[in-house]
Amino acid sequence: MKQVLIIDESPLFREYLRLKLQDNNLKVSIGMHATDGISKMKSIAPDLIILDSALSRKGYMEVLKEKKNNANTENIPVIILAQGIDQKELAELVPYNVKKVFSKPVKIDTLFSTLSEMLGVTFYLDDSPGIVEVHVNDSIVFIELAQGLNRDKLDLLRYKIIELMELYEIRLPKVIVMLSDMSLSEPDTANLDKLLLAVTRASRAKHKNIKILTKDAFTRKYIQSQKDYTVIEVVSNLQSAIDSLLLEEFEPHLGHIESKTDVIEDKVLTADTSAEEDEIMALKFQAELSKNKLDSMKESLRDVRIAAVDDDFIIQELIKNSFRDTGVLISTYSDGEEFLDVLGKEEFDLIFLDLLMPKKDGFAVLEELKAKDINFPVIVLSAVTERDVVIKAYNMGIRSYLIKPLKPQDIFKKSIEILRPDF
C-alpha cells in the first residue's frame, strides 16, 4: 500500500485530504508542522509528500533541504500547496524533486488528477458541473450554489463553512443557502440530502436559522416534505430571508441591511453561473482552530502587498492601521490614475478599491486590469447608497465588498477570507 505524508498546519485541510486519500486505499501520515513533518518523513520514507508552503517556525524550504540531505528521502516526489510562489521561487524548487505547485484554494479535481498519475491510483470524482462559494457578511454565512450539486464540492463545502465560522468567530450561526438558477428533479434528491446534511452539521445552526433561497418548485416541495428539515424555511426572496434572521438584532440599521440585500440578490439570482462523523469532525477541530487566531493570521499575511486606492485619507489610514504589526506592505493611492501609473511596475496580492473617485474612478481601474489581464483580487469599498455601482463592479470581476463605514477587524478578516483560503 502506497503512503502519502501530508505536512500542513491547517487541521481542516489535512483532514479533508486524509479522508479522501484513505477512501482510495492509500496510507496517510500527518505532519502538523515542519518539525513533525521532517521527523515522519525520515521515519517512514513515504511515496509522496504533500507540503504546504505556509508553515510557521521552520519553513517549507527547511523540509525540502532536510529531504535532499538524506539519502533515504532525497528522491521522494513532492507536491507543494502555496498561497503564492513567484517564478524565482519556482526555479529554486527544481533540485528538491518538486513535481507540481498548486495555488490555494486548490482545484481539487486537478490535484487528484496529478495524484492519480504520480501514484498509479484511480480517484473516482464527480465530474458533473457545480459551483460552490461561501462568504460571510453581517455574521450570516451565505452559501451560493450554481449549475448543479457536485458531490465532491459538497464535501468541500463542509470544511469551508467551518473555516469561515472560525475566522469570523461565529457562535450563533445564521445561514442562507442560495441556489442560483437551479432546477432540480427526483434524481437530485440524494445530492440535495447531502447538501442539507453538510450545511446543518458543519454550521451547527438551529434549523430555524437556516433559510433556503430558491425559485425551484421541486426543491421547495422536497425540503418541506422531509420531517428532519420541516423547520428550515424555503424562500424565494432574499430580503425576507435576511429580515427573518436579523430584523430584531439590526432593526436600527435596517436600511443598511436592505442595501446589502439588494446587491447580493442581484448578484446571485441573476447568475449564469454520515451525519455523526460530520458532527464529530466539526467538534474535533474546534479546540485546535481556536488556537489559530490572531497571531497565526497575522503571521500568514507577512510580506503580503496591498494597494489601498481611495481618495479619502482617513480610509487610507484605517486600512494601514488594520494591518499594524502584521508585516503587510501597504501602498496608498489617492485616485485611480495614480494607481494605474504603477501597473506593470508593482505587484499586489490584494486591492482595496473605492469606486467613486476623481480623475479615473474604480471602474476605469477595473477595466484597465481586465484589459491587461491582471488578476489581482479586488475588494470594493462602497457606501450603502451605491447599490447599482457595486452590482456593476461584481459583473466586472471583483471578489467581495465592504460597506462603509469600515471597521479594522472587518477589513482584516475579509482580507484573510480572500487571501488565505484553504478551500
The CATH number linked to 153 is: 3.30.750.24
Rounded Cα–Cα distance for residues 311 and 197 (Å): 46
Residues 234 and 325 in one domain: no
Residues 200 and 307 in one domain: no
Q: Phi and psi (nearest 5°) for 104? A: -85, 145
Tell me the average pLDDT across 49-63: 88
- Which of 67 and 399 is assigned the larger pLDDT? 67
- Residues contacting 359, CB < 8 A, separation 6+: 335, 336, 337, 338
Cα 216 to the center of its chain, rounded Å: 27
Full residue range of the structural domain in which residue 413 is found? 300-419
Residues 145 and 264 in one domain: yes
Residue 294 lies in a domain: no
**Helix orientation angle between 238-250 and 254-269, rounded to the nearest 10 degrees:** 160
Dihedral class, residue 356 (left if φ above 0, else alpha if ψ from -120 to 50, else beta): beta
Residues 81 and 159 in one domain: no
Residue with cell 494601514: 320
Cα 26 to the center of its chain, rounded Å: 27
Under a CB-based contact definition with an 8 Å cutoff, are residues 231 and 225 in contact?
no
Going by pLDDT thresholds of 50, 70 and 90, the confidence category of residue 419 is confident
Q: Which among 422, 412, 419 has a CA at the least distance from the CA of 168?
A: 412
Residues 276 and 156 in one domain: yes
Residue 124 lies in a domain: no
Residue 397 lies in a domain: yes
Residues 115 and 162 in one domain: no
Residues 399 and 313 in one domain: yes
pTM of the model: 0.76
Report how many domains make up the chain: 3
> Per the structure block, which three cell numbers stand in for 36?
513533525
How is residue 149 annotated by DSSP? Answer: -
Q: Phi and psi (nearest 5°) for 146? A: -145, 155
Residues 354 and 324 in one domain: yes
Residue 378 lies in a domain: yes
- pLDDT (tens digit per residue) in 301-338: 778 899 999 999 999 999 999 998 888 999 999 999 99
Residues 388 and 266 in one domain: no
